[in-house]
Amino acid sequence: MKKTFKALNYIAAFSFILITLASCDKEFTSIDSDVLGEDNFTFNTTSIDFPVVTYNQNLEAQQINALSSNLLGVFNDPEYGQTLASIVAQVVPQTFTDSEDFFGENPQIESVILTIPYFSTQVNVDENGVSNFQLDSVYFDNNDFENPKAVTLKVYENTYFLRDFSVFENASQNYYSKADGSINNTDNFSVTADETINFDENVGTLFNTEAITPTPEARESTSTVDGVETSTFLPPALQMDLAESAEAKARWKNLILDQAGLSPLTNAGEFINHFKGLYIKADASSDTSMMLLDLATGPNNSGANITINYSSDDGDDEGDERDEGAYVLNFSGNRLNTFINNYNPIFPDTPNTVDGDDKLYLKGTEGGMGVIELFNGLVDCDGDGEINDNAFDCFKKTFRETDENGNFILENDRFKLKRLINEAHLVIYEDETLDNTVDPNENEFHAFDRLYIYNLENNLPIQDYFTDFTAEASNPFISRRFTLGNRIVDEQGDAKFKLKVTDLLNDILINDADNTKLGLVLTNNVNIASTTALLNSTEDVTNVPSNTVITPRGTIVYGNNTNATTTEGTSKKLRLEVFFTESE
pLDDT tens-digit readout, 156-182: 999 999 999 987 777 899 999 999 999
User: Looking at the predicted structure, is the pLDDT value of residue 226 above 90?
Assistant: no
Predicted confidence band of residue 296 (pLDDT cuts 50, 70, 90): confident
What is the arithmetic mean of pLDDT over 245-272? Answer: 98
- Our count of domains for the chain comes to 2
Give the integer Cα–Cα distance in Å for 62 and 46. Answer: 45
| Angstrom distance (rounded) from CA 196 to CA 190 | 6
Query: Which band of pLDDT confidence, cut at 50, 70 and 90, is reported for residue 260?
Result: very high
In a domain, 305, yes or no: yes
Reported as a single tens digit per residue, the pLDDT across 207-217 is 999 999 999 99
Q: What are phi and psi of 371, to 5 degrees?
A: -115, 130
The answer to whether the CB of 391 falls within 8 A of the CB of 580 is: no
| Assigned domain for 257 exists | yes
What is the pLDDT at residue 127?
Answer: 85
pLDDT at 299: 52
- Name the residue with higher pLDDT: 45 or 235: 235
Q: Mean pLDDT lowest for which of 132-136, 349-353, 385-389, 555-559?
A: 385-389
Instruction: Identify the band that residue 35 occupies on the pLDDT scale cut at 50, 70 and 90.
Output: very low
- Does residue 581 have a pLDDT over 90? no
Q: Are 238 and 371 contained in the same domain? A: no
Contact partners, residue 229, CB within 8 Å, separation at least 6: 222, 223
| More confident of the two residues 69 and 145 | 69
pLDDT > 80? residue 22 = no
- Whether residues 319 and 376 share a domain: the answer is no
Residue 144 lies in a domain: yes
Residues 349, 402: Cα–Cα separation, whole Å = 45
Cα distance between residue 289 and residue 150, in whole Å: 6
- Domain co-membership, 248 together with 308: yes
Is residue 22 assigned to a domain? no
Residues 323 and 412 reside in one and the same domain = no
**pLDDT at residue 373, rounded to an integer:** 98
Q: CA 404, 407, 411, 415: dihedral to nearest 10 degrees?
A: 130
The residue among 224 and 577 whose pLDDT is bigger is 577
Tell me: pLDDT of 247 over 70: yes
At 381, the pLDDT band (50, 70, 90 cuts) reads confident
Per-residue confidence at 583, pLDDT binned at 50, 70, 90? Answer: low
Instruction: Name residue 454's beta-bridge partners.
Output: 461, 519
Q: Say whether pLDDT at 531 is over 90.
A: yes
pLDDT of residue 30: 33
pLDDT of residue 317: 60
Mean pLDDT across 491-511: 96
Say if 245 falls within a structural domain.
Answer: yes
Query: Read out DSSP for 32-85?
Result: ----TTTTTTTT-TT-B---EEEEEEE--SBB-BS-SSEEEEEEEETTTEEEEE
- Are 366 and 321 in a shared domain? no
- Residues 56 and 124 grouped into a single domain: no
Q: How far is the C-alpha of 105 from the C-alpha of 129, rounded, in Å?
A: 40
Is residue 375 domain-shared with residue 324, that is, in the same domain?
A: no
Q: Is there a single domain that holds both residue 266 and residue 392?
A: no
| Same domain as 287, residue 352 | no
The answer to the question of residue 8 being in a domain is no
Weakest-pLDDT range from 320-324, 423-427, 483-487: 320-324
Which pLDDT score, from 0 to 100, does residue 467 have? 95
Last residue of a domain, one of 315, 342, 369: 342
Residue 108 class from Cβ within 10 Å (0-12 exposed, 13-18 middle, 19+ buried)? middle
- Return the sign of the alpha-carbon dihedral for residues 476, 479, 485, 487: positive
520-530 pLDDT, tens digit per residue, is: 999 999 999 99
**Range from 165-174, 187-196, 332-341, 510-519 carrying the lowest mean pLDDT:** 165-174
Average pLDDT over residues 393-406: 93
Q: Given this model, what pLDDT does residue 43 score? A: 27
Q: Is residue 37 part of a domain?
A: no
What pLDDT is stored for residue 14 in this prediction? 33
Q: Assess whether 295 and 433 both reside in one domain.
A: no
Segments forming the whole domain that contains residue 196: 81-342
**Are both 268 and 404 inside the same structural domain?**
no
| Same domain flag for 354 and 336 | no
Q: What is the pLDDT of residue 487?
A: 97
Residue 24's SS3 state is: coil
Per-residue confidence (pLDDT) for residue 584, from 0 to 100: 59
Average pLDDT over residues 79-107: 96
Average pLDDT over the chain, rounded to an integer: 88
Q: What is the pLDDT averaged over residues 72-98? A: 96
Examine the pLDDT at 285 and tell me if it is beyond 80.
yes
Q: What is the mean pLDDT of residues 293-302?
A: 73
Is there a domain that residue 143 lies in? yes
Three-class SS state of 528: coil
Last residue of a domain, one of 327, 342, 357: 342
Which among 307, 342, 377 is the end of a domain? 342
